[in-house]
Each structure stands twice: as C-alpha cells, then as structure tokens.
C-alpha cells in the first residue's frame, strides 16, 4: 500500500547518500538504471517512513485534490493489460474529492466520480481530465498544438468546483511537452497558460482561489534544498548530451505564480529523480487561502512513472 508523505519536513529527504538516507544517485545513470534507482528510492522511503507520513484525510468539511500522471493507465515498467486495475487501486487509496489526471484514457471508469470532464489529446488516445465528487461549471479546454519533435498534442483544462463547505475554487490541470530539449515548446505553453487563465477569470468573473496542477516536465533549481541534487541533475543531463533548461518554470515564477510546496518542496516526483509536478497559485491571490489550512503531500507508489501529488484543504476555524 502506498504512503502519504508530508512535505512539511526536509528530514525525510536527507541529501546525504550515506547511512540511512537515500536520495539522488551517486552519478549519471542510464534510463534503465535510473528507473531501478527510482523504484528503490520509493521503496526505501516507504520502509523508513517514521512519523513523517500523513494517513488521515480531511473530514467531511475538507477537500482533497490530487494531480497524477497515470502513465496511459498501464503499470510502470510492468506487464501491460493490468494498468487500469493498478491505477484504480492507487486512486482508491488516495480517495480524492477532485482528481486532475494526465495521460488518462477513460477517466469515467477510472475515477468513479459523478462529475467528469475529459480533454482528449495525444493523437486522440490519451489526455487530461478533471473529475470531482462536487459539481463543476465553466469548464474550459485548450490545446497547445502538436510538438514538432513528436507530433503529440498537450493541453490545459480548467473548471470551477463548488465545495459545500469550503466554497468555490478554480482548478486547472495541464501536461506540458517532454520532447523539446531546447524548452522552446514548454516556454510557449506556459506563456499560453498565463494568458488563458487570466482570460478565463475575466470571462467567468471569478475572484476566488485559483490553483494550477499538473505534470510540467520542467525544472527549477528552487525545488532542490540540497544544491548537490541540482549538481547531479546537471551532470546527468551532460551525460545525456543535453543542456539543462529552466526557462519555463522561471517564466511562471517571475510572472506571479507561487510554488505552494515552498519552502520544503519534494525533490523527486518522477522516475528521473527530479521534480516536474507542481501545485501553483497566483501570488496576488494568496490572501484568499489565508482562511484555510493547507497540507501538501505525495503518495509513494510505483504504479506510474510519476508520484501522485496531493493538496488537502480545511477551514482553519474547524480545527
């Protein structure tokens, strides 16, 4: 069974590779080696969870939102054909009120939620979805355009979700390009995100909390508390003969998007031992969450090549 891990402490993600700690690899690895290392990393932290794990979900007056790249609904690096059962198991463990899924084919069958909106991408095979236990309105979908490197299409979708106790939230879900090593494509996509969300808020006259979830396939040095982890990423990319790019996340951060996992972000969210999955919010809207208790976490499970990223919201007055 997977474990919910609180971001609130850095102690679990000790950056020393000696003793009981387990974090980034000692040097550059091949893809197969890195995949195996990632699985060992996840299993290590499941075994050595101590008191750092979150197992409780907010009560009936709270809300849990989860972002998860489900790897085309197939178990990661395992036999194909059992994927939906594995993903169903993980999603049942998460018990989210709202799910933002990427690389999903059939969210209606996978989530069991009564309200489901799907944006089919990837040449009509897989895409993004937002599903909810609570009503949704003002759903928008935007396709960024196909990548000249792979022909794949990626997109952004959003919806206003009305929670019976917490009020209304504008939730966005995205999945950015992974193939363009120059990051020109991702930079174009994040610029579209910023403009499209501003347009949506004006069109729907929405002035509540706005939260952006997704697989950004993008890096930023601020995600790594230990600079040695970032140095390893640079060396790994050098061994791959590519240059590490940070322009996409830098644009969002410099354009007024705040990383809600700071100051203690998770150093790893995917098989490449990097953080590329984020929960972001417009900085000028931060005051709208002052009345909420926010807990960010991720779920340790290797059913997919990404870890589920979660956000629990509760009214402070209910604590």
22-63 tens-digit pLDDT? 889 999 999 999 999 999 999 898 887 643 445 578 877 899
Number of neighbouring beta carbons within 10 Å of residue 150: 15
Residue ranges of E strands in 164-252: 167-175, 210-215
Alpha-carbon span 93 to 180, nearest angstrom = 34
Please confirm whether the linkage preceding 235 is cis (ω < 30° from 0). no
User: What residues of the chain score a pLDDT lower than 70?
Assistant: 1-20, 49-55, 77-83, 146-147, 318-319
For 220, residues 6+ apart whose C-beta sits below 8 A from its C-beta are 246, 249, 250, 253, 259
Write out pLDDT tens, residues 124-133: 778 999 999 9
The boundaries of the domain holding residue 154 are 3-318
Query: Under a CB-based contact definition with an 8 Å cutoff, are residues 47 and 293 in contact?
Result: no
For position 65, which CATH number holds? 3.60.10.10
Give whole-number Cα distances, 254 to 188, 222, 239, in Å. 15, 13, 30
Tell me what pLDDT residue 54 has.
55
What domain count does the chain have?
Answer: 1
The pTM (predicted TM-score) of the whole model is 0.91
Give whole-number Cα distances, 146 to 71, 126, 135, 155, 267, in Å. 19, 14, 31, 10, 30
């Amino acid at each position: 069974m997977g474990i919910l891990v609180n971001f609130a402490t850095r102690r679990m993600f000790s950056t020393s590779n000696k003793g009981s700690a387990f974090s980034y690899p000692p040097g550059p690895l091949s893809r197969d080696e890195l995949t195996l290392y990632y699985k060992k990393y996840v299993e290590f932290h499941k075994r050595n969870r101590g008191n750092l794990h979150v197992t409780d979900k907010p009560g009936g007056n709270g809300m849990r939102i989860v972002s998860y790249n489900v790897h085309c609904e197939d178990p990661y690096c395992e036999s194909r054909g059992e994927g939906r059962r594995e993903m169903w198991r993980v999603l049942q463990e998460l018990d989210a009120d709202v799910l933002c899924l990427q690389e999903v084919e059939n969210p209606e069958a996978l989530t069991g939620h009564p309200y489901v909106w799907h944006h089919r991408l990837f040449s009509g095979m897989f895409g993004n979805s937002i599903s909810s236990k609570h009503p949704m309105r003002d759903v928008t979908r935007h396709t960024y355009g196909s990548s000249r490197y792979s022909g794949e299409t990626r997109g952004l979708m959003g919806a206003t979700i009305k929670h019976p106790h917490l009020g209304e939230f504008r939730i966005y879900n995205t999945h950015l390009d992974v193939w363009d090593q120059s990051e020109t494509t991702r930079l174009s996509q994040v610029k579209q995100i910023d403009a499209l969300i501003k347009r949506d808020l004006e069109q729907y006259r929405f002035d509540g909390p706005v939260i952006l979830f997704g697989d950004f396939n993008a890096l930023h040095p601020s995600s790594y508390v230990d600079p040695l982890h970032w140095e390893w990423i640079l060396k790994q990319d050098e061994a791959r003969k590519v240059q590490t790019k940070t322009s996409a996340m830098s644009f969002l951060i410099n354009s007024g998007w705040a990383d809600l996992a700071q100051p203690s972000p998770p150093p790893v969210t995917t098989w490449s031992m990097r953080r590329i999955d984020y929960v972001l919010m417009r900085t000028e809207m931060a005051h709208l969450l002052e009345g909420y208790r926010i807990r960010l976490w991720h779920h340790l499970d290797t059913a997919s090549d990404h870890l589920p990223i979660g956000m629990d919201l509760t009214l402070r007055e209910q604590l």
